[in-house]
Amino acid sequence: MIVYAEESFESLWPHMQGHVLAHWHEVGAFPEHEVDPDIDRAMALQNNGMIVCFTARDDGDLVGYIVDLIQFHPHYKTVKMAICDLHYIAPEYRAKCARGLTKFAEKAEREMGIYARVTRSKRANRAGDFFKAMGYSEAEVAWMKRL
């Protein structure tokens, strides 16, 4: 049975490690660099109330997670935002719980007084179609250049 929950980054991190490489291989922006998360930074964000984590577990096993950064919008100082840093569902669970985990995160963040949630998707997959179906609209396009 799939169970959704909010968890601290500290408690989630040990369980995420089994998914980090698969997540990176699927959507990592810099395949020439090994994935090396800044755990100290994530812990500092947690200690400052600036990170929120949501999980999907099947009989206790982690099958998906969302990690959002919480901040006030720099152009609207009273507008509290959730900026998605990580959104991963194990491939065999995407049809089973992607929608449920996203709705769970949205409801929890709405209850936290968050006005809007921003997420991104890579062009390499069809996650954009999923977010459109969930009611998200394309707000901008990000461009990147290696220097």
Residue 139 has pLDDT above 90, yes or no: no
Cα 121 → chain centroid: 11
pLDDT per residue over 13-67, tens digit each?
999 998 988 888 878 888 888 889 999 999 999 999 999 999 999 999 999 999 9
**Domain boundaries of the chain, sorted by first residue:** 2-133
8-state DSSP, 93: G
Per-residue HEC secondary structure of 101-132 comes to HHHHHHHHHHHCCCCEEECCCCCCCCHHHHHH
For the residues 81-106, what does the mean pLDDT come to? 96
Domain 2-133 has CATH 3.40.630.30: yes
Question: What pLDDT is attached to residue 127?
Answer: 81
For the residues 92-100, what does the mean pLDDT come to? 95
- Give the span between the Cα atoms of 44 and 132, in whole angstroms: 32
Look up tokens 């977010």; give the residue: 131
Residue type, 58: D
Confidence of residue 128 (pLDDT cuts 50, 70, 90): confident
Question: What pLDDT is attached to residue 102?
Answer: 97
- Which pTM value belongs to this model? 0.92
The backbone torsions φ and ψ at residue 123, rounded to the nearest 5 degrees and listed phi first, read: -70, -20
For the residues 98-121, what does the mean pLDDT come to? 96
For the residues 84-110, what does the mean pLDDT come to? 96
